[in-house]
Amino acid sequence: MLTKQEAAEAVRQAKVKTGVTWAQLAEAVGKPLAWTTAALLGQHPMGKEEAATAAALLELGGDAALAFQLQPTRGALDAAVPVDPTIYRLYEVVQVYGPTIKELIHEQCGDGIMSAINFRLDVRRVPDPAGDRVVITLDGKYLPYQW
């Protein structure tokens, strides 16, 4: 049986081999694009039918489908400071704007946090005359602290 990490690497290789896109996988599985991508990269467990559908589309075997169903150990960074340039930029955003985001959440919502469990994510490319933009939407339920 494959681990979730081995299955995630198999997915990345199968995407190249088959030419299947993340959007096609999400449509076939019937789940949002960001959730499906994260699930196939090992961050969420998939249901049996979702896992079988994804494995078939990617031409992966039953071992991959089983791995897709396993409960994950969440968190994708091998080190405290990421070295991949794309992931590092997100880390940099949190370093620079994290305190601002925290202050604005508290001012607008009160003493609480944004959930990363009851959460939606969207990533899209937006044309711009000065150079295309990447728009990342983090949409988490507000959770007030209860004392």
Q: Active-site residues: which are they?
A: 89, 92, 115
112 CB neighbour count, 10 Å cutoff:
14
Burial of residue 70 (number of CB atoms within 10 Å: 0-12, 13-18, 19+): middle
Joined tokens for residue 28: 């076939």
As a whole number of angstroms, the distance between CA 133 and CA 86 comes to 14
